[in-house]
Chains A and B, each alone.
Chain A
Amino acid sequence: MAIRPMQAGLAPKERRFWPFRRLSLAQQEEIQGYLFLMPWLVGLVAFTVGPIIASLLLSFTSWNLVSAPRWVGLENYQYIFQDDPDFIQALKVTLRYAAISLPLHIIIGLALSLLLNIKVRGMNVYRTLFYLPSVLPGVATTLLWVWIFNTDFGIINWALKQVGFEGPRWFQNPRWALNALIIMGMWGVGGGAVIYLAGLQNIPPHLYEAAEIDGAGFWHRFWRITLPLLTPTLFFNLVTGLIGAFQAFVSAYIATNGGPMRSTLFYMLYLFQKAFQQQWMGYGSALAWILAIIILVCTVLVFKSSALWVHYEAERGAEVRKK
């Protein structure tokens, strides 16, 4: 943008004052790339980097939020890895939650979005209703879910009874509590479906028309057209879902507070307990950085794998080709 007028204004006689006489197209693009990035780069430097570095430094201190932080070096990390049994438990719970709920979210969200994409009358109402859970205040609805999962009075166990099953004592039993939270989380699947829905809008309709003329059935169209062209959106939902699953804790905080027998001690819940309830902010920061690195490694792996399965219509390598 800013480059163009500059270029245009470069009358031949002025050229000598312009040190970079010949900006190749690639170089222009490079400068423009950073210019367009400016809003984010400014924000990164001004608002984001400072607090993040502060939290990194705090992770090497002992800080009770009142008196000045005391430098303890690697002690927090050492304690976490050597002496903290809850750290391993919290990590296990979170990994299990992510491993089960992430694929479910991706698949069911996709299925739901295909349904919601059908153009029929009244679909607007359905779309709104399925999005409802993403809009409702979290605390009140979690309390409601506690009631839905109630052993004796809850709807779920009532429904199971109708088909001849004895429902478990969801939140009382360490084997079932995490599953209950996973099911609870599925309620928000409409939020992901909406993103697929946006992605579906970008698939050129003529592809379907051509396929239909060829007599391709639903599955064929789905595997050959919809899914490949939706992979960028799928990739988005995978990465954001990954980050979200690792950081989940609100429902556990309200419904179980980590119990029974630490079966729902989510990593973030544990972090929250340490950093705020016990005011070990330095320790909490160390936990946060360990979590961040785990997520980062997973994300980078997903990114590396994306070359194999994500189909971009317009992918351009980052490096500018030198001419």
Chain B
Amino acid sequence: MNKKIMNRRNFLRLAAMTGAGAAIAACATPTPQVVKETVVVEKEKVIPQTVVVEKEKVVQQTVVVEKEKQVEKVVTATPAPAVAPATVNFFAGDVAENKDAFLLTADAFNARSDKVKVKINLIASQGFGAKIQTMIAANDGPDLWPGVSPGEAPRRGAHADITAFVQRDIAKPQEYWFQMGIDRSMYQGKWYAVPKDVGWNVIAYNIDMYEKFGVPLPKENWTFDDFIAMGKQLHRPDEGYFGTQFSGNSVLLWGGAGIPYNLGFKMQSDDGHTVKGFLDTPTSIEAIQWVIDLQDKHKISVSGEQAQALGGEPFYSGKVGLGVAGVWGLRDLLAAKFKFGLIHAPIKKAGDTIYTWGGAAHVFMWSGAKNKEANWEVMKFWSSPEGSKIAHVMRVAASPNPVVWTDHADDKDPVLGVFLKDGLRPTFQPPYEISSYFWQCVGGNFGDIWTRYLELKERPLENIAKDAAEKAQKCLDDNYSKEKK
């Protein structure tokens, strides 16, 4: 419960600093903070925000000036750039699984940072987005907040452009972060975020089922033909077992690991503004047909509705032979009650490029934030190997820095090793992460292809796909042209 009172702890530390004087404070700073610090403050009443701020002001005025000389040798140990003292307000989701890691990362930052302190405000995860939007609309945004890929959102102006900071402090982003973390942090060549954690999906198979039905396990470079053959052998709906979990449009949107890219499916242009000429090409239509066939022709998949009945991710029901497992669901995967294996998504033929599918979570800075340099310090730490490893070793978020993985010998781990290998493969930005109008214009019309083919029995698929692309394109054009006005 002591984790709840970050501001209290900060406050105590600051109060102690004022009281004990500059020397003590300066000496105390570089000591690494023990993570499970038990400050007995639970019983204390609320201390209003203002008090904390006042104390900080005092710190700024009285302590800091004296500190300068003594701090110097400390600075060499933990390189803190010249930055004005500040408290950075970091608004984060109050999520049971992640918040410990978040608070511990903040502790680690505060322990090493001398002048800049970060204060975590935990906000209910349901309504988090609405709260941030409301605050920004009221011109009182948080200094920093986490979120998924911003896509085109930076064009609205809420996200601070941090290109100069990144270029100054990060020598080689390509080596520092996973590719999928970099792509999604940028919009039109500028940086608007740094990756906080990354995640991607691989194909998971239920070894218990393979053994039960005497099916040989999939091997590296397995193909779509192998996939369907295995699915047919594993699919025994009368006994309550299903070959694969892949059904519906979600396979091509977000639920199919690398399958869509390995099929050569490309839904839209890179900027997300054009669908026509992408969604309705012969290759794309072939890919759609392949996914529909899984449930319509080969009948080796749970139906879309069965997938829901089987819970969030059908694979964890233990009744599905081939499913997906993600870095973000690592804890569920490790809690599974059956033997499983992991492998890359199947390909058309041996020798084809193998793609992966993934996403990232980021830290954003509000464009109206006052002390950008201080905010950047915090952001940078969150995205650095030093900061990101805390959540990584707790298995609640995967580090965006490949070096953290190798440092912890994750490449040798039977589960994480497969993930790491897959995470380094080429990938694209998922379609819905780009255009702001994706779900309204493209997602719905794309999903309707399945409804029209399977429910309304319309044929041929080509016409349905062309019609969907037409409608989606018109919707995108309408929205973008209205926006320009």
Contacts and interface: CB of A to CB of B under 8 A. Distances in A.
B29 interface: no
A169 B305 contact: yes
Interface string B432-458: 000011011000100110011011100
Interface in A183-228: none
Interface stretch (B34-42, B129-137, B182-190, B357-365): B129-137
B303 A151 contact: yes
Nearest to B237: A152
Given A174-B455, A260-B448, A65 B309 contact: no
Nearest to A153: B309
A53 B123 CA distance: 30
A276 B130 contact: yes
Interface residues of A, number: 35
Given A172-B454, A173-B455, A258-B444, A147 B309 contact: yes
Nearest to A177: B451
A279 B156 contact: yes
B485 interface: yes
Nearest to B302: A152
B19 interface: no
B168 interface: no
Nearest to A265: B444
Contact of A151 (B305, B436, B439, B440): B305
Contacts of B485: 62, 72, 75
Contacts of B439: 257, 273, 277
Contacts of B304: 172
Nearest to A65: B137
A67 B156 contact: yes
A273 B440 contact: yes
B347 interface: no
Given A66-B137, A83-B478, A151-B305, A174 B451 contact: yes
B157 interface: yes
A65 B132 CA distance: 11
A66 B136 contact: yes
Given A151-B303, A154-B309, A169 B455 contact: yes
A79 interface: yes
A199 to B, nearest CB: 35
B279 interface: no
Given A174-B451, A278-B436, A65 B133 contact: yes
B308 A150 contact: yes
Given A66-B156, A83-B478, A259 B308 contact: no
Contacts of A154: 305, 309
Interface string A286-323: 00000000000000000000000000000000000000
Interface residues on B, range: 20 to 34
B154 to A, nearest CB: 10
A140 to B, nearest CB: 11
B459 interface: no
A64 interface: yes
Nearest to A176: B455
A313 to B, nearest CB: 44
A279 B153 CA distance: 10
A65 B141 CA distance: 12
A152 B303 contact: yes
Contact of B136 (A65, A146, A147): A65
Given A66-B136, A79-B482, A171-B305, A260 B451 contact: yes
A257 B250 CA distance: 14
A51 to B, nearest CB: 12
Contacts of B126: 139
Interface in A51-75: 62, 64-67, 72, 75
Contact of A259 (B157, B305, B444): B444
A172 B444 contact: no
A264 B458 CA distance: 21
A150 to B, nearest CB: 4
Closest 10 CB pairs of A and B: A260-B451, A153-B309, A66-B158, A150-B309, A65-B137, A66-B156, A151-B305, A64-B156, A66-B157, A150-B305
26 contacts: A65-B133, A65-B156, A66-B137, A67-B156, A72-B485, A147-B309, A150-B306, A150-B309, A151-B303, A151-B305, A154-B309, A172-B304, A172-B454, A172-B455, A173-B455, A174-B455, A259-B444, A259-B448, A261-B448, A261-B451, A261-B452, A273-B439, A276-B130, A278-B440, A278-B479, A279-B156
Given A65-B137, A66-B157, 9 more contacts: A62-B485, A150-B305, A152-B306, A153-B306, A172-B304, A257-B439, A260-B447, A260-B451, A278-B436
